[in-house]
Amino acid sequence: MLSPPGAVMKLSLSSDEARRIILRAQGFLGAESRRGGAPAALRRLGAVQLDTISVLARSHELVAYARLGAVGRREVERAYWDEPARAFEYWCHAACVLPIDDWPLYAFRRRYFRARKFRWHEVPDSVEAVLQRVRESGPITTADIGGAKKGGPWWDWSDSKIAIEWLLDTGEVVCTRRVGWRRVYDLAERAVPGHLLAEEPSDAECVTRLAGIAGRALGVATRADLVDFLRLKAPEALLLDSCLRDGSAGLVPVRVPEWPERAADAWADPAALETEPRGRHRTTPLSPFDSLVWDRARTARVFGFNHRLEAYVPREKRVHGYFTMPVLAGGRLIGRVDPAREGATLVARQVSLEPGVTPGRGAASLAGALWEAASWVGCDAVRVERVDPLLAGPLQDALSRVP
C-alpha cells in the first residue's frame, strides 16, 4: 500500500495510515516491536521521559509496561541504569533516559550550557570543589555532598545540588544509574565509553543525527513535532530546517491532508513507508509522559484526544484527575482513568470514555486494562469510584467477569 515518495511529489497519507505508522514506530504494533525487551524499546523510542510522580509505578516503568506487558521492574532498571552503562540521563524532550550511544549527539546542548553559565539558579563558586569530590570519591549522590535542599520548597536547592546538576548539564559528570530514585553521579570520563567520549560533533551534526532518531521514533512528524521532541531553541531549529531540506536527516516529506492545514506537511522515515503496519496491541493505560502522548497538540492531531496533565492543577479545578492516564485500545485513545493504590487494591478514582465509544465495548476494554495493571503492580482487587453514569453498570459487570 505504502511506498517511499518520489523526488517531486510528496506521498499522501490518510490520517489512519499515519496513525498506524506512528503506533508501529512507537513500539505498539508488530511482533518486531516487542523483541529485545526494555533495552530495545529504549533504543527504538530514542528517549524515555523521567518524572518524580509515582502512582501505579514510575513513568519510565509505565512506558515499558505499555509496550511489553508485565515487564519486571528489575528488567527496566537494567535497561536504563546498569553497569556498564547502557543509558544516561540528560535533557531531550525533558529530563530523559537516553541510549548511551547517543552521548556524543548532545554535545551541542552541553556547549550551550557552558556558554550560558547559568542554570535555573546562579552557579555557585563551589563547582570546582564538588567536581574534585566526585573525582576523588565518586560515584556519589547528593547525600554525599551535603544534600539536595536547603530545607525549603523543592526548588530551594543547596549549593552542592546546584553545582552537581550544573556539572551534569555541562557533561563533566554523568548519571548512568540511580539508587532509590536518587541520581548517582560520576565523572563522564569514567562512566561513558572512551570512543563515545572522544566524539565531539558540530552543532549541525548533532541536530542532523538527532532529527533522524526523533523522526524514526515518532513515525510521522511535523517540524513542530521534531522541535518539541528535542526541545530545540531557535538556532538549532534553523539547523533542523537545513538537514530536513537537504535530506541529511534521512527523513522524507509526506503530507497528511486530513490533519489541520498548518500541520499537514510532515516528515517520515522512508523505511517506515515501505510496508503497511500490521498487528494488534494490548489495551493499556499510558503515562501522560509517554512519548506517544507527551505533546498535547500532536495527540489532538493524531488521536483527536485532548489531554492535560492535572497533577499540578489545584484539586478543585481538575476535570479528569491527578494522574489521568489515556487508555489505548484498538489503535485509538478510548478513555481515561485516574489510578491510585490502597494496599492491595487498585483504585480507579475516575473513569471516562471518549465520545463515540459505546459503553459496552469500552467497558470491556477498560476492565481488562484495569485488571492487568492491577496484577502487574501486585494488587488483587479493583475498585472504581467516579464513573460516567452510562458507563457505570457495564464497567462493573465487565470488572466482575475479567479475573
Find, among 24, 29, 22, the residue nearest to 279 by Cα: 29
Average pLDDT of the chain to the nearest whole number: 92
Q: How many CA within 13 A on the CB side of residue 379?
A: 22
The angle that helices 223-230 and 296-303 make with each other, rounded to 10 degrees, is: 140
Q: Which set of grid coordinates corresponds to residue 350?
A: 475516575
Q: Which residue has the cell 487494591?
A: 345
Q: Which residue has the cell 511482533?
A: 31
What integer pLDDT is reported at residue 288 of this predicted model? 96
Q: Which set of grid coordinates corresponds to residue 161?
A: 545540588
Rounded to whole angstroms, the Cα distance separating 207 from 227 reads 10
More confident position, 107 or 4:
107
Q: Say yes or no to pLDDT of 3 above 50.
A: no
CA dihedral sign of residues 68, 70, 75, 81: positive
Q: Say yes or no to pLDDT of 281 above 60.
A: yes
Confirm if 53 and 59 have CB atoms less than 8 A apart: yes
- Per mean pLDDT, which range of 25-34, 84-93, 359-368, 391-400 is the poorest? 25-34
What integer pLDDT is reported at residue 149 of this predicted model? 65
Helices (H), 117-257: 127-137, 159-169, 188-191, 194-197, 203-218, 223-230, 234-246
Using CB atoms within 10 Å of the CB of residue 121, give its burial: 0 to 12 exposed, 13 to 18 middle, 19+ buried: middle
Confirm if 144 and 158 have CB atoms less than 8 A apart: no
Confirm if 166 and 122 have CB atoms less than 8 A apart: no
What integer pLDDT is reported at residue 1 of this predicted model? 47
pLDDT per residue as tens digits for the range 214-259: 999 999 999 999 999 999 999 999 999 999 999 999 999 999 999 9
Confirm if 208 and 250 have CB atoms less than 8 A apart: no
DSSP state of 398: H
pLDDT per residue as tens digits for the range 175-184: 999 988 899 9
* Structure confidence at residue 154 as a pLDDT band (50, 70, 90): very low
* Structure confidence at residue 7 as a pLDDT band (50, 70, 90): very low
H or E element in which residue 116 lies: helix 107-116
Q: Which set of grid coordinates corresponds to residue 152?
A: 525549603
H or E element in which residue 176 lies: strand 173-179
Using CB atoms within 10 Å of the CB of residue 72, give its burial: 0 to 12 exposed, 13 to 18 middle, 19+ buried: middle
* Structure confidence at residue 8 as a pLDDT band (50, 70, 90): very low
Residues β-bridged to residue 219 = none
At residue 370, what is the residue type?
L
Please compute the mean of the pLDDT values over residues 382-390 and round it to a whole number: 93
pLDDT per residue as tens digits for the range 182-191: 999 999 999 9
Q: Give every CB contact of residue 170 below 8 A, 6+ residues apart in sequence.
A: 110, 113, 114
Q: Which residue has the cell 569530590?
A: 133
Alpha carbon distances (Å) from 117 to 120, 122, 127, 239, 292: 10, 8, 12, 23, 34
Note the pTM of the prediction, 2 decimals.
Answer: 0.93
Rounded to whole angstroms, the Cα distance separating 401 from 403 reads 6
Find, among 186, 195, 197, 161, the residue nearest to 83 by Cα: 186
Write b or e for each residue in 185-196: b if 16 or more Cβ atoms lie within 10 A of its Cβ, otherwise e: bbbbeebbeeeb
Write b or e for each residue in 154-173: b if 16 or more Cβ atoms lie within 10 A of its Cβ, otherwise e: eeebbbbbbbbbbbbbbbbb
What integer pLDDT is reported at residue 402 of this predicted model? 66
Phi, psi of 337 (to 5 degrees): -140, 135
At residue 237, what is the residue type?
A
- Per mean pLDDT, which range of 23-27, 32-36, 59-63, 107-111 is the poorest? 32-36
* Structure confidence at residue 151 as a pLDDT band (50, 70, 90): low
